[in-house]
């Protein structure tokens, strides 16, 4: 069965996506529209060019640049509505969207008003059959004080659908121990813990995210492939890796972890993780910036050697890893298994 055949099957499955940055979903045309709204003239082609950064620092610069055009609640509502329409068109029925809340705070924006606009967009998305929950993210390079402030806001807005607190940005900028107080605050407020680790950092960064921060899901985590003992631990402990293959290629993370000769999706450790029994949630990370979507990522998984039943099991893992009450999780799983049975994938 070809990758195209797999893509056609996956398109018919109800899906969950767990590692998706709202700000990384801004299409070039929308970025140009936002720029005009705020007095700048930029073409979609120029935006697309900025998105094609050669390495991780370049990616961070492009992310910082495009978020500079998000200034008002209506800007956030626009990109959320567009993202939710694209997800629904792929039959994504559940999504956890990461918001760069610390960026809003650093720019002295009205976070409460911005989030109110996003929560309203999430409510509208229900008519498309899509349920959305939120993860508030702090940029590691902004320091521990900003992490604490972001965690406080996440706790404050938990009643409106914020389910987790996480850290992203420059993974090498700050020791995990300095983020522990913010994670403790979030956990005391009932929020779940996630963390980017092992994307460009070493395997030890993954251990620290689990042991010091209490992360139950790891964003990327591809460095685990360098440490067999760590992979065994992740599998036995049931820690989910949020895997984003196209992102790992486009940011240079693959080449950084495994050498320049690994700057190819064919060298991605996804299949190795799957074969070793690790829990994996396939995701897009920043789909507009990396010119991908969730169905395309599953087609890449097929290209990396997973067959149709394995792809179905991979898709099911995302529902297991979702930050949902158990009855809700089981409801999604029942719907998913019914569809896989109809498609002959069980």
pLDDT tens sequence across 17-27: 999 999 999 99
Cβ proximity of 75 and 37 under 8 Å = yes
Identify the CA nearest to 167 among candidates 203, 191, 131, 188.
191
Q: Helices (DSSP H) in 157-198: which residue ranges?
A: 180-188
Stretch 61-65: mean pLDDT: 95
d(CA 213, CA 235): 19
C-alpha distances out from residue 95 to 80, 284, 288, 342, Å: 12, 11, 16, 24
pLDDT value for 262: 59
Q: Give residue limits of the domains in the chain.
A: 3-342
Q: What is 3-342's CATH number?
A: 3.20.20.140
Tell me the β-bridge partners of 16. Answer: 94
- Reply yes or no on whether 310 is catalytic: no
Q: What is the pLDDT of residues 204-236, one digit of tens each?
A: 999 999 999 999 999 999 999 999 999 999 999
Percent of the chain having pLDDT more than 90?
92
Cβ proximity of 178 and 208 under 8 Å = no
d(CA 286, CA 23): 8
pLDDT value for 59: 93
Q: What is the pLDDT of residues 167-176, one digit of tens each?
A: 999 999 999 9
Which residue out of 96, 199, 242, 297 is catalytically annotated?
A: 199
Is residue 244 classed as helix, strand or coil in its secondary structure? coil
């Amino acid at each position: 069965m070809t990758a195209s055949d797999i893509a056609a099957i996956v398109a018919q499955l109800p899906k969950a996506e767990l590692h998706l940055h709202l700000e990384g979903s801004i299409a070039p045309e929308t970025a140009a529209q936002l720029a005009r709204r705020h007095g700048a003239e930029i073409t979609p082609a120029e935006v697309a060019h900025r998105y094609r950064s050669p390495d991780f620092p370049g990616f961070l610069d492009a992310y910082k640049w495009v978020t500079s055009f998000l200034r008002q609640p209506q800007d956030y509502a626009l990109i959320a509505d567009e993202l939710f329409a694209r997800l629904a068109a792929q039959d994504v029925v559940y999504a956890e969207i990461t918001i760069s809340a610390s960026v809003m705070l650093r720019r002295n924006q009205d976070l409460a008003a911005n989030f109110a606009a996003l929560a309203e967009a999430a409510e509208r998305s229900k008519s498309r059959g899509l349920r959305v929950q939120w993860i508030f993210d702090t940029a590691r390079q902004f320091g521990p004080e900003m992490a604490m402030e972001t965690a406080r806001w996440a706790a404050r807005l938990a009643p409106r659908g914020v389910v987790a607190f996480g850290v992203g940005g420059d993974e090498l900028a700050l020791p995990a121990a300095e983020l522990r107080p913010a994670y403790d605050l979030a956990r005391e407020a009932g929020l779940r813990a996630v963390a980017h680790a092992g994307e460009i950092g070493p395997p030890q960064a993954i251990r620290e995210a689990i042991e010091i921060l209490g992360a139950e899901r790891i964003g990327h985590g591809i460095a685990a492939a360098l440490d067999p003992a760590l992979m065994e631990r992740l599998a036995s402990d049931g820690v989910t890796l949020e895997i984003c293959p196209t992102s790992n290629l486009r940011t240079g993370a693959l080449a950084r972890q495994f050498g320049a000769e690994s700057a190819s999706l064919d060298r991605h450790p996804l299949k190795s993780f799957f074969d070793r029994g690790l829990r994996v949630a396939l995701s897009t990370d920043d789909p507009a910036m990396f010119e991908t979507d969730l169905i395309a990522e599953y087609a890449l998984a097929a290209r990396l050697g997973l067959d149709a039943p394995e792809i179905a099991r991979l898709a099911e893992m995302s529902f297991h890893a979702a930050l949902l009450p158990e009855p809700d999780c089981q409801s999604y799983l029942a719907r998913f298994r019914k569809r896989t049975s109809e498609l002959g994938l069980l």
